[in-house]
Each structure stands twice: as structure tokens, then as C-alpha cells.
């Protein structure tokens, strides 16, 4: 009696099935890429919302700043709050202004220099806060594809070993292993593409917000410079009298 060849074992070709059938190295690669993708999306959503809030804060602050309200009154309103953005630059400059005059500042150039340095330090902190965690998106965007390719290479090597062990080039033997391997590359692309696109968009938005703060710092520095000149002139007149 003629014996029929055994049918190739059935394989689950769904994404979940391919993941469960993959080797442990490929599984670790996939899990790492999925975790990086989830964390990337969390950063993207958080930063998008934070930048939108900061734009609204800039608009409110500029409205209050140019409303005709005195600088002293605005400073008293903001000094006790945890301000960010333009408000942080304003508070840093006004705090240095008040400290200098309380200690009897005599040199306009020295006072102006200290105020500018105070705003530069505040601006640096704000830019660091804006760009925080964006480096992770850049790393995922540049590395995830190669990590996925590493998983693919390991998966294909495993498939070739299975082919050699079974001494068969039947598609039913080859296809599942290759599909598992290619799934790692697909997950790598899934993690890398949104992270890279979001990084380029968010770093550009951070640069625009930073440019707005720099413009405000320059403008406010000019305003304070005029006020310093007026105060110094007034002090000199009072001393002459």
C-alpha cells in the first residue's frame, strides 16, 4: 500500500501567530520596538498638547504685557506663580532689576548686562524644557529600522536552519519563518516613521516658540534699557540739586 507524504504542519499566519511562533531573540526585538513605539506616541501627544498650551500662554501674556498695565503690577501678579515661557523671562529680568536698584546700582551698562544674562539663563531653561525627550524620538527614528533589520536577519537565519533540518524547500516550510522575520522589520518601520516625522515637526515648533521668546527678550531688554536711562538721569538730577 502506497504511503502518502505527510502534510506540512499548519502555521498561524496572523500577526499574533507569527509573533508567538518567532524565536526568543526576534520576540525581544519586537517587544522592544513596540515599547519604543508606544513611548514615542506618548511623547508626541504630550509635546503636541504642551506646545499648544504654551502658544495660548504666549498670547495671554502678550495681551497682558501690552495692555498698558505697569511692569511692577504685572511682576507682582506673576512673581508668586510657577510661570513658564515669556512669563519666566519677564520675572527673571524684573527680579534682577529690582535687586539691582535695591542694592543701589550705579552703572547702567552693568545693570543692563546682568538683566540680559538673567533672561538668557531663563531662556536656556525654557528651551531645555521645550526640547526635553525629543532626543528619544530622534533616536527611535534613526535606530528602530536597524533594530528591526537585526530581528529580520536573525529570523531568516533561523528559517534557513529549519530548511536545512527538514531538507525541504517547500514554501510551507520557508514562508512562516520569513514572514516572522519580515514582521520585525515592519514593526521597526512602524516605530521609526512616526517618531522621525514627529521629531522634525516638534523640533521645528520648539524653534518657533524659542524665536518668539528671544524676540520678546530683545524687546523687553530695550524697554528696560530706556527705563534704566530715565532712572539714572533722574538720580543724577536729584544728586545735582
The count of other CB atoms within 10 Å of the CB of residue 126 is: 22
Residue 1: predicted pLDDT: 41
Q: Give the model confidence (pLDDT) of 86-96 as tens digits.
A: 999 999 999 98
Residue 5: predicted pLDDT: 45
Residue segments in the chain with a per-residue pLDDT below the cut of 50 = 1-8
Residue 12: predicted pLDDT: 61
Question: Model's pTM, two decimal places?
Answer: 0.82
C-alpha cell belonging to residue 53: 498650551
Residue 154: predicted pLDDT: 84
Residue 68: predicted pLDDT: 81
Amino acid at each position: 500500500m502506497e504511503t502518502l507524504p505527510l502534510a506540512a504542519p499548519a502555521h498561524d499566519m496572523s500577526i499574533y501567530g507569527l509573533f508567538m511562533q518567532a524565536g526568543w531573540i526576534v520576540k525581544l526585538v519586537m517587544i522592544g520596538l513596540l515599547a519604543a513605539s508606544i513611548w514615542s506616541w506618548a511623547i508626541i501627544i504630550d509635546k503636541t498638547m504642551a506646545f499648544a498650551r504654551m502658544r495660548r500662554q504666549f498670547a495671554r501674556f502678550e495681551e497682558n504685557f501690552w495692555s498698558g498695565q505697569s511692569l511692577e503690577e504685572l511682576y507682582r501678579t506673576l512673581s508668586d506663580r510657577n510661570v513658564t515661557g515669556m512669563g519666566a523671562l519677564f520675572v527673571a529680568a524684573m527680579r534682577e532689576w529690582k535687586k539691582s536698584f535695591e542694592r543701589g546700582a550705579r552703572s547702567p551698562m552693568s545693570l543692563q548686562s546682568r538683566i540680559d544674562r538673567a533672561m538668557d539663563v531663563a531662556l536656556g531653561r525654557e528651551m531645555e524644557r521645550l526640547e526635553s525627550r525629543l532626543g528619544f524620538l530622534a533616536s527611535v527614528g534613526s535606530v528602530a529600522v536597524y533594530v528591526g533589520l537585526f530581528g529580520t536577519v536573525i529570523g531568516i537565519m533561523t528559517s534557513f536552519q529549519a530548511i536545512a533540518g527538514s531538507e525541504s524547500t517547500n514554501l510551507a516550510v520557508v514562508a512562516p519563518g520569513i514572514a516572522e522575520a519580515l514582521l520585525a522589520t515592519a514593526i521597526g518601520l512602524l516605530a521609526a516613521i512616526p517618531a522621525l516625522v514627529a521629531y522634525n515637526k516638534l523640533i521645528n515648533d520648539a524653534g518657533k516658540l524659542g524665536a518668539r521668546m528671544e524676540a520678546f527678550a530683545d524687546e523687553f531688554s530695550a524697554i528696560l534699557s530706556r527705563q534704566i536711562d530715565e532712572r539714572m538721569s533722574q538720580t543724577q538730577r536729584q544728586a545735582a540739586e
